[in-house]
Amino acid sequence: MALTDDDKGFSVLPGPSFAALDQLVRLHHENLQSSHLARFLAASVHAAFLFMAMTVLTLVLAGTAPIGRDFTWALLILIGVLALLRCYIRTNAALGPQAPLTWAARELRAVFLYLGAAWGLGAFLVLPVSVGSLPALFYAAGPMLGLALLLNDTAGLALFLAPAGMMVIGAALIRSWPHRGLDASLILILQWGLFSAALHRNREPRPAGFSQD
């Protein structure tokens, strides 16, 4: 508001433009997204070591399956592990920020989808029919819990949880595990709890003083 000599009244001066403020908010959001994707891609190498350790431990503890089944399942997991390492190496070798990170993140999520199916298949190939509830829950929970702690990407975690959990539950029902009802219920509860916790943890904070319409 300003008083002028011509009309001896008040006139409204042009207000400040919000273009710069919008640009600042946009840059802030892009920076958060880039940081999110970079941390997700960096976690791929840790996920690779997690799957190698869990695979060796499973083969040692459940070593009753024929050697052909063990080899087939270990080979499937190894392919996924190599794909994780390839994503990590390509990401660190690539130059350029947003577009390469977005594309690499989509590729990494596809790898986790494959690993979910491969891990779930292990319930049919390497776990004995007489498996108890504790070993079955450990088999399902080990990589799920590890990835929930390692990954900051809810979509990547969900793409692993869905096929892995459903296939382990399917193995429990189809192969008639001794405690199949209990095993299926515990795995579902575990999946829901891990996904809910990851969704809450990975929720992007809104900039202070701004609200979404």
Convert the pLDDT of each residue in 59-111 to its tens digit.
Answer: 998 877 688 899 999 999 999 999 999 998 887 765 554 457 788 899 999 99
End-to-end alpha carbon distance in the chain: 29
Cα(116)–Cα(131) distance, rounded to whole angstroms? 20
84 touches 48 (CB < 8 A): yes
**How far is residue 87 CA from its own chain's centroid?**
14
Whether the model clears a pTM of 0.85, i.e. scores above it, the answer is no
Cα(143)–Cα(187) distance, rounded to whole angstroms? 12
Convert the pLDDT of each residue in 107-134 to its tens digit.
Answer: 999 999 999 999 999 999 999 988 888 9
